[in-house]
Amino acid sequence: MNKRINTTDLRVAAINNTLFAPTTLPAALKKLGFVQADPIQAPAPAQDLILRLRVKNYSVGDLDRRYASLDIEEDYFYAYGFMQRSHWRLLHPRNTDDLSSLELQVLQTLQSGEPFHPKDLEEQFGKEKVINAWGGYSKATTRVLDGLHHRGLLRIAGRKKGIRIYQITEQSQQHMSTDERSRELVFLLCRIFAPCLEKNLRKLPFSKPEGCDTKLILAALLADGLIERHVIDGDAYLFPASLSLGGTADGASSVRFLAPFDPLIWDRERFERLWGWQYRFEAYTPVAKRVRGYYALPVLWRDDVVGWVNITKTDDGSYDFEFGFAKKIKQPAQFKIEVEKEVDRMKQFLQR
């Protein structure tokens, strides 16, 4: 390749790859490839904060309300979230051997295929509690349902007051080989995070088919011309060959508040390489050790991430916006105008 690429080109490419012009919810989900979910609402769940920038007139909770009508599934990919059903099928089958007696009983109970609430099982299977992955306690039936969902034997049919509603999965024969599924998943990851740091993509833990070798698959994708590799300041970056590296950032005159798990900033090391400062998610950091705040949202100004904002709801139902900055702002007067516009957009989003 003879293209001369610099860090600014990478920034613009990263923005244009994922911050496309607002569209419909189905189209946005397809373009994103995956939307990470998180239950913290400060000021809204991560999935809603991610989608508000990409979906016209999006409101908090729209994804949950429309979930059943969308061709998507909840599952774990590189994190827990939402993805198109066609991509979700690439994750399965996962290991379904050695089901426990309780798991087999639960599956037998759910053979009707009707959606059900976890409480529906408590009368039959009891309310016994077991230690969960975080050291707390969960009901044994809840743990079983989570395990069966992970194996692909159950799916999430929707939610009721935030609680997952489960449904037995219609089993369909997998027509793709393990190698084909692995190749599709690795390419999808490259597309989601493009331009991505090669070293981080190679070692990214994700729900991969047994025997999937990310390094070998990337080499094959490079050889086939489906992805490109460029070294900038000693770091190798990968991206689909179709990704444009020229021009300016989409929405270049706007200020945008990004979710902590937005694909644009998800790789914290790439973030530091492209924007020159460290961003960390500090919700689980002790208060005394926080630098940015409990749920600091990075602030994108043109093609630069210049700082962060914490948004808190007040007793009277309004919202406070507290800003912090990592860089000196270029054209501060115009920046202030654009910040006020984004604050208004955020308020409308939260109050619809």
Domain boundaries, the chain: 93-168, 255-351
Tens digit of pLDDT for each residue in 98-143? 888 888 888 888 888 889 888 888 777 755 554 444 344 347 778 8
Residues in a beta bridge with 167: 155
Taking domain 93-168, whether its CATH number is 1.10.10.10 is answered by yes
In the prediction, which pLDDT does 1 show?
44
Token pair for 286: 């002790």
Mean of pLDDT values over 52-58: 96
171: pLDDT confidence band, cut at 50, 70 and 90?
A: confident
351: pLDDT confidence band, cut at 50, 70 and 90?
A: confident
